[in-house]
A and B are shown apart, each in its own frame.
Chain A
Amino acid sequence: DTGVSQDPRHKITKRGQNVTFRCDPISEHNRLYWYRQTLGQGPEFLTYFQNEAQLEKSRLLSDRFSAERPKGSFSTLEIQRTEQGDSAMYLCASTRQGKSTDTQYFGPGTRLTVL
């Protein structure tokens, strides 16, 4: 199995710009999760998909954030009109729902810096 991959690994942008991140889950993993992690904190849940359906969204996910998983494989997370407070590590995780042990495996993350 190749692991969860995320692209880009680092993104620096100016306030007000839009950014988009991509996550490729482990092959055959039908659930995909997005988390955000700020410095000195544990990851916080943003949203998750089962196949192409977005099943849950955290209240952390403001209307400037949108996530998609159009074909039930890779997912994208877009942030519009970025703010300095959006600076964080954005982590993706995947799992195979239905197994008795649906452990989430994380990608390396995308580090976003908003200037």
Chain B
Amino acid sequence: DAGVTQSPTHLIKTRGQQVTLRCSPKSGHDTVSWYQQALGQGPQFIFQYYEEEERQRGNFPDRFSGHQFPNYSSELNVNALLLGDSALYLCASSVLQGWETEAFFGQGTRLTVV
């Protein structure tokens, strides 16, 4: 079992650019959530996808958007990058069948905006 996999592991972008991060959930999982973790802080919930729709959203601007594919994999898109978007972006997957199971996290994508 490959667990939750994220790509790329590291990325450097210029302010104003757009970025797409990818996540493959753990086998058998159908729900994907994204987190942003700034240096020295705990992860902050961005949004959650289930059945290809955004199910829950945290306090993040519309520049942050996502997508879930029929195979349950997911993308996180960030437009008009700001220096403050530099962070570790984490993906977590779980199963939602009436109730949601424990979440498994990927290793994250380290985004640096210069």
Q: Do A and B come from one complex?
A: no
Report which A residues bind B (CB closer than 8 A).
none
